[in-house]
Amino acid sequence: MTDRHISAGGVIFRRKGADIEVALISVRGGKVWGLPKGTAEKGENIAATAHREVREETGLDGRIIDKLGHIEYFYTVKDSGPPRRVFKIVYFFLMEYLRGDVADHDDEVDECRWVPVEEAISLMRFKDEKDIIEKARHRILEIPSDSPS
């Protein structure tokens, strides 16, 4: 039997002059960089989950602009009982940075840092997360910048 888990997360970005930076988190002793995401709490919709998880895992607060899409994958849980197969769907939202500091991330995360968007794409281990950041980059470029270039 396969369990089904739904999570949500986000690509939070800021502009530094003409450059775009996104916040990435590192886990597993800094060996894996990824996007902040997590499981919904009772009564929470996926947008609220994405907002909360980004805030908790990055220390940053952002305004949701758009839904970017979702990724799907299987993994196996090996705990005290027999191994269980899990089908996971993660919905991602594009968020514009409002306030906060990457130093204020929670204990689930080893490190959070702002990374230029092109570098962020190259740091992703999995193609589906690369694709989500690429979608975010294209969407950000469509948003008029308030700052002069």
Q: Is the pTM higher than 0.85?
A: yes
Does 76 reside within a domain? no
Looking at residue 101, which CATH number applies to its domain? Answer: 3.90.79.10
Number of domains in the chain: 1
Mean pLDDT (the chain, rounded)? 93
Q: Residue 96 to residues 11, 102, 122, 133, 137: CA-CA distances in angstroms? A: 8, 14, 21, 14, 12
Does 86 reside within a domain? no
Percentage of the chain beyond pLDDT 90 is 79
- Domain span at 62: 9-71+94-142
